[in-house]
Chain A
Amino acid sequence: SAVISQKPSRDICQRGTSLTIQCQVDSQVTMMFWYRQQPGQSLTLIATANQGSEATYESGFVIDKFPISRPNLTFSTLTVSNMSPEDSSIYLCSVEDLGSLLYNEQFFGPGTRLTVL
C-alpha cells in the first residue's frame, strides 16, 4: 500500500485565519481525496482532488472555503479558509490507485488535527 504523510499533524489556529494542509504520497496515485472527521463523528468527503484541474466538491463544501490543489500525482493541498471554531476537525487525505489492478483499495493518511479558537 502507498505511504501517505500529512503536514502539519496538528495545529491550533485563531478564528479568521487560514491553514494549508499538505498530503504527500510515496508513489503516483490516480485518485486523491480529502475527508473531514468532526469530533466523535464519522468521515465525510469534502472533495476529490483532480490533477491539473479544479477539485470536485461534495454537497455542502465550496471552493472558496476549502481550496484544493493537486499539481501532480503524488501531492495535494487542502486549505481551510477564514476558520471558525466549527472547522475544528481532523482532516484526512486518502488515495486510491486505479492502475492495472482489477481491485483497488483506498488508503488514508494519518490526519491533521485542527483546533480553531
Chain B
Amino acid sequence: GQQLNQSPQSMFIQEGEDVSMNCTSSSIFNTWLWYKQDPGEGPVLLIALYKAGELTSNGRLTAQFGITRKDSFLNISASIPSDVGIYFCAGQGTSGSRLTFGEGTQLTVNP
C-alpha cells in the first residue's frame, strides 16, 4: 500500500528559528495536506495543496506540492512557543477518498 515517509521525526529549536519538514511518497498523490495536532485534540488543517509545483502560504507557514507529486514540504518561519505540537503530512488520491498520513514531526520550541 501507499506509504509516506515524514522527516524529521522530532525537532528541538529556539524561538525565532525557521523550521522545515518534508514528506515523500512511493506513489503519486493529487492532494497534499498538512495538519497540526495539539495534545488531546484532533488534527487541525493548516494548508492544502492541489497542484504539482504549487507553493502556498498561510501566515508564517509555507508549503509546496512537489513537481513529481510524490513529495511536499512545510516551512515555519520565525517559530513561536505556540508552534509546539505534532505536524502531519497527508496525501489524498482523489476527492472524497482516504488520507494516507505520515508518521508526524514532533516540534518543540524553546523560549
Residues of A within 8 A of B (CB): 1, 4, 30-31, 33, 41-45, 48, 58-59, 92, 94, 96, 98, 103-111, 113
Assuming the A-B contacts A42-B88, A43-B101, A103-B48, are A31 and B42 also in contact, with contact meaning beta carbons closer than 8 angstroms in the complex? Answer: no
Assuming the A-B contacts A42-B104, A43-B101, are A104 and B42 also in contact, with contact meaning beta carbons closer than 8 angstroms in the complex? Answer: no
The total number of A-B Cβ pairs within 8 Å is: 55
A26 CB → nearest B CB, Å: 15
Residues of B within 8 A of A (CB): 1, 31, 33, 35, 40-45, 48, 50, 88, 90, 92, 95-96, 98-99, 101-104
Evaluate contact between A105 and B98: CB separation under 8 angstroms. Answer: no
**Complex: A107 Cα to B46 Cα, angstroms:** 10
Evaluate contact between B101 and A113: CB separation under 8 angstroms. Answer: no
Evaluate contact between A96 and B88: CB separation under 8 angstroms. Answer: no
Evaluate contact between A96 and B42: CB separation under 8 angstroms. Answer: no
Q: List 22 A–B pairs whose Cβ atoms lie within 8 Å, in order of A's numbering.
A: A30-B96, A31-B96, A33-B98, A41-B103, A42-B88, A42-B101, A42-B103, A43-B88, A44-B101, A45-B99, A92-B43, A94-B99, A98-B96, A103-B48, A103-B50, A104-B96, A106-B99, A107-B45, A108-B43, A109-B42, A111-B40, A111-B42
Assuming the A-B contacts A103-B48, A103-B50, A105-B33, are A43 and B43 also in contact, with contact meaning beta carbons closer than 8 angstroms in the complex? Answer: yes
**Complex: A104 Cα to B95 Cα, angstroms:** 6
